[in-house]
Amino acid sequence: MGSSSSSDVSITKYFDMDGKEVEPGDLIQIFRDGYQHWAVYVGCGNVVHLRVAESGAGKGEVLKQTLEDVVEKDNWSVNNLLDHEYKRHPADDIVKEACSLAITGWQYDLDTHNCEHFATEMRYGKPESRQGAKPGDLIEIFRRWYQHWAVYVGDGNIVHFVTPRWLARTGVVWKQKLGDVLKNNWWKVNNLLDHKYRPRPADDIVRDACSLADTERQYNLKKSNCEHFATEMRYGKAESQQGAKPGDLIEIFRRWYQHWAVYVGDGNIVHLTIPRWLARTGIVWKQKLGDVLKNNWWNVNNLLDHKYRPRPADDIVFTGGYRTAVQPEEVKL
């Protein structure tokens, strides 16, 4: 942010991450982790914005706060996204209307009354949003170490496939409020295979997903996980990009460090372990991924694929399987 001053009055000017000066009436797009928040700039370093009220779901509150307090450490930019489509209100009218609503209660609904709806209504008189989910959309939820997937079916509800515990063999399809499932996690709409397959009609997606609510299904990380369920509902094709393939590197998140292994197929990994901390000799083991995980999370992380060409998967698996086929091998560290 920059500033300039005259001889009579000190004027602070604010600039977004692209160096564009923000002016009263501008819409501010703030890039949170996993979503965008929107506000209306009303001058003197202040914005007016709608947020979810602490009193509960379905309730919002309009606040006037400093831009810096709202942005915190996130990036932001001026984005008058509908100027090409609608004539904006005069800046004085935008500021007056937005400030008049500050410190008032406001309905909050992801589909019809979110922060972007509020901001665009102030500037254009047209409440529109590009970030709300539509029935039939796939929802990607960012957990700490993995992504959970669901199908949005309208009115703030999702249908999703869950398991009662990690690596369980049976799961249940639930219909729940998106807010109840999110907890403190971020989410986004991600219709990830629209470029590959034609989505089924939204009414069919919603009908079929809801018809499966409260039913049990077999769970398998490679063949029938939450992403398989979601993509099957939208495209009629059960696909997942989060299962491990032979030759993939597996990153396991222990409490204070990450443990690494090679996935060799059929639920097995090959990995180097040590009998005690800072030992000089370790052992290469072939074990079931589930037995090694315990209560820890994991993901596929082929971290050097951008730097080196991976060896053929068959060669990776053969080497790992051969080294452990007869007995575990000791390795000096």
Which residues participate in catalysis according to the annotation? 148, 160, 226
Sign of CA dihedral 32, 38, 148, 227: negative
Rounded to a whole number, what is the largest CA-CA distance in the chain?
86
Determine phi and psi for 328, rounding to 5 degrees: -60, 145
Residue with tokens 């998140």: 253
Q: Where are the alpha helices (DSSP H) in the chain?
A: 67-71, 91-100, 115-124, 178-182, 202-211, 226-235, 289-293, 313-325
Do residues 233 and 159 make contact, with C-beta atoms less than 8 angstroms apart?
Answer: yes
DSSP-assigned letters across all residues of 159-219: EEEE-SSTT-SEEEEEEEEHHHHHTT-EEEE--TTTTTSPPPPHHHHHHHHHHTTT-EEE-
Residue 270: helix, strand or coil by DSSP? strand
Under 8 Å between Cβ of 151 and 233:
yes
Contact 212, 218 (CB under 8 A): no
